[in-house]
Amino acid sequence: MSTDPEAAACELSPKEALSPDERRRFQDPDVIRRIFADAKTVAVVGLSRDPAKPSHYVPAYLQRAGYRIIPVTPHRGSVLGETTWPDLASVPMSMDLVLVFRPGPECLSVAEQAIAAGAPRIWFQLHIPAGESARRAAAAGLEVVADRCMMVDHRAMADSRA
């Protein structure tokens, strides 16, 4: 295991890897289209205050595209003009989707929180090893997307309509 937190976030263990069948299942274009059609309120776990990080500029893009963003971060205050919440259990409003920007080892806890909060969908951002977490969320009935970038997919969908 690496001691560098950035590198450790992307190290894969066998239980975190997606099989080819899971890759097809958790990257299903129909599920992705349905999420973009149905989800309006997105709780972003791991939203950063740093505009240079994907965990900030992806949610900022989604907010500009019309989604309500709920920042879930231990940093108190606000990000992107929205009040922050320390965890999903603290969020007082319903969420249509949980978007995850956390290292692989933290994803199972986030998936369990999403299940407990009644979220209908969860999206594990690109390059986050979340195989076990995706399987757990799917087994609980959530729609799951894993190892995809929500901003890239949203842009691609918008471009295909143009």
pLDDT at 107 over 90: yes
CATH code for residues 39-161: 3.40.50.720
Tokens of 148: 């995809």
Query: Where do the structural domains in the chain lie, given as residue ranges?
Result: 39-161
27-72 pLDDT, tens digit each: 999 999 999 999 999 999 999 999 999 999 999 999 999 999 999 9
**pTM metric for this prediction:** 0.89
Q: Which residues contact 106 (CB under 8 A, 6 or more apart)?
A: none
Length of the chain: 162
